[in-house]
Structure 1
Amino acid sequence: MLDIIIVNYNSTDHLIHCLRSVKKSLNGSDAGIFIQDNASTDGVNRILSEFPQVSLTVNPDNLGFAKAVNKALEQGTGDYVVLLNPDTYITNGFFESGMVFMHKHPDVGVIGPKILDNDGRLQNSARGFPNPLTAFFGRSSFLSRMFPNNPFTRRNLLSLRSDGKTPMEVDWVSGACMMVRRKAVETVGLLDERFFMYWEDADWCRRMWQSGWKVIYFPVTSVYHYVGGSSEKKLFRPVIEFHKSGYRLFAKYLDSSLSFLKPLAFTGLAVRLGCVLLSKIARYGVNLFKKHFSLKKFKTDSYEKERAEPIKDSIPLEIKLL
């Protein structure tokens, strides 16, 4: 039996497309589908008309990702659990091939498929555990985009080492789509709810390794992920939560003898946060200006067109006949 858990926050349009792909990929197989909605305002109840079989829980407040997932984990009983973001699209064969692989490899606690952007580009969802250099050579950092094959980025983005078809051990895989063995969850425990959003997947995978469970990148199947289907609706909070959770992960696993590094890490993340926020504000301002300029140009063109049309219509009949 398979359980599928999706946490939704104002991404119901994406969620509907996701559920359609889930239904197609299941191809009639049984699965418990648990939707945890974190107080969305975009009409999440409309999914029930098309998917009456899903279990929908509408939370009165935004509980965060980890806490919402934990609520669903306690509802289900399946031997395997799939965590999905609502802005993902499942390709055919993912559920079946994933469960077959995990059945054949009982020491595997988590697998993560190859995740692609909606335009087909690799999303680098298999990664190494973060270190101080991750801030500069992470998945979306400037240096990684400019020099994708540098050794620091390749150490962090482990999916770059994959041949695209062979399962391989990695430190952690993205929670945007992962299949987890319930027996491993019972050993390791639920997600750490102190992570409101981001980095809870890295923490879970670290605990899996610490408890003797392997984490595998499984590029045999692919999943498409429209990045930020929920978080892009907010300008600042996702960025702030990302850095807060990053510091929480660093502090959680820092050896007590190195506790003096905490202020340094906090300061570094604060500076990085400030830079990212300023960049977002600048991009937002540019986009706002472009929209305003485009709207103004549209109004001007429309006005000129309206002025020209009456003149044409008002030409005296005798002149038209000449």
Structure 2
Amino acid sequence: MSAREIKLLAVLLNWRTPDMTARAAEALARALDGLDAEMVIVDNDSGDGSEATLRALVEGAEWPVPARVVQSGRNGGFAFGNNAGIRAGRSDGARPDYVYVLNSDAFPAPDAVRVLIDHLERHPQDGFAGSQLWSEDMPIHISAFRFPTIASEFEGTARTGIVTRALHKYRVPFLDLTRTRPVDWLAGASMLMRQDMLDEVGLLDDGFFLYFEETEHFFRARQQGWTATYLVESRVEHLGSVSTGMKQWAEVPKYWFDSRWRYFTLCHGRAYAVAATLARAAGLSVWKLRRLMGAPRLDPPGTLRRLVRHDLRALFRPAVRHDTRAPRPNPSFAE
């Protein structure tokens, strides 16, 4: 299949970052040049004038591919917003071969999307391909990972040399990202998904607001035999955490604990989720002991207490279920 025969849907999600989303859209348009592609910009009910700003941008743009803005209707998070864009689909009604998802703080190189497409064309078992992310202050971002496990919950919070050496094969982030490699899951900042995989596995789970939604989606796909690859040849500048404010967390937000519990219970069951929480609590306790010996604070205040309290409450709530129904954009706002 030649590049012009491939049909692509590109989804760009905005929440209260209209100027940055506009910059991302400009970069994305350049990266889509020469492809049979359409860009859908989803505004996740920003309520700050973003939608009007982005509609004006699209109306005045002279891009090589068609683009439109849709309104999701509420700020339902990363999965909800991207699902809204996927459901909106191409205006010509054509079924895409691939869906490309881009964060509003990510700016693809001109060949970044084509590199991902070429890879999936050559590797039919891969359902996902992801880009190498970079920024001026960090040449390579950590954006490719192993699936979280009980062991990784302890290793990632204990952060002690002897523990990390013993459990290195369970460490969630891949640290050597200087080469193309198969991975368990990828950051959703710049990610290509095969439509055949989405038809079989379903969309992202709307039950996640932020965090762990990609992880669960990749895990669900892996259960169906689909694999994923991280590609250094696809380069995307990424600022990171602009919409979420993660770098400025004074405390871990409730939705992070909700998403973590949802991931472990959906993918492994409640007993495993409890064991993972105990492992994480043990690791956090190890680090608290190290702080008594002068180690720096690495976790927001109250993280251990809030983890235990949250998961004890979650344990006695009704079991979570997948929610992979694709939301329709708000018809009063959709083009």
In the superposition, relative to structure 1, how do residues 238 and 35 fare at CA in structure 2: closer, same or farther (>3 Å)?
Answer: farther
The aligned length equals 273
Report the residue type matching 1:21 in the other structure.
A
Structure 1 residue 190, shift from structure 2 partner: 1.1
Which of 69, 76, 93 in structure 1 is aligned with 2:82? 69
Matches within 5 A, 1:275-290: 276-278=299-301
Structure 1 residue 61, shift from structure 2 partner: 2.2
Equivalent residues of 2:128, 2:229 under 8 A apart: yes
Determine helix, strand or coil for the equivalent of 1:187.
Answer: helix
Structure 1, gaps ≥5 residues long: 281-322
Which of 34, 51, 54 in structure 1 is aligned with 2:58? 51
Report the residue type matching 1:156 in the other structure.
R
Structure 1 residue 158, shift from structure 2 partner: 5.0
Q: Does 1:160 align with 2:175?
A: yes
Equivalent residues of 1:247, 1:266 under 8 A apart: no
| Distance in structure 2 (CA, Å) of the matches to 1:43 and 1:259 | 41
Structure 1 residue 32, shift from structure 2 partner: 1.4
TM-score normalised to the size of structure 1?
Answer: 0.73
Structure 1 residue 108, shift from structure 2 partner: 0.9
Aligned to 1:12: 18
Q: What percentage of residue pairs aligned between the two structures are identical?
A: 24
Greater share of helix residues, 1 or 2? Answer: 1
Structure 1 residues 210-238: Cα deviation after superposition (integer angstroms, max 9, x where no partner): 11111111111111111111111985697
Structure 2, gaps ≥5 residues long: 1-6, 60-65, 90-94, 288-297, 304-335
| Distance in structure 2 (CA, Å) of the matches to 1:241 and 1:262 | 18
Aligned to 2:32: 26
Which of 181, 185, 197 in structure 1 is aligned with 2:210? 197
Structure 1 residues 227-259: Cα deviation after superposition (integer angstroms, max 9, x where no partner): 111111985697332222112111222256657
Determine helix, strand or coil for the equivalent of 1:160.
Answer: coil
Aligned to 1:98: 116
TM-score normalised to the size of structure 2?
Answer: 0.71
Which of 220, 232, 255 in structure 2 is aligned with 1:219? 232
Determine helix, strand or coil for the equivalent of 1:51.
Answer: helix
Which of 18, 22, 47 in structure 2 is aligned with 1:41? 47
Matches within 5 A, 1:187-266: 187-232=200-245, 239-255=253-269, 258=272, 261=275, 264=278
| Distance in structure 2 (CA, Å) of the matches to 1:32 and 1:80 | 11
| Distance in structure 2 (CA, Å) of the matches to 1:257 and 1:43 | 45
CA RMSD between the two structures? 3.3
Report the residue type matching 1:117 in the other structure.
S
Determine helix, strand or coil for the equivalent of 1:71.
Answer: helix
Aligned to 2:322: none
Report the residue type matching 1:278 in the other structure.
P
**Highest CA radius of gyration, 1 or 2?**
1
Determine helix, strand or coil for the equivalent of 1:40.
Answer: coil
| Distance in structure 1 (CA, Å) of the matches to 2:252 and 2:236 | 23
Equivalent residues of 2:40, 2:68 under 8 A apart: yes
| Distance in structure 2 (CA, Å) of the matches to 1:151 and 1:223 | 34
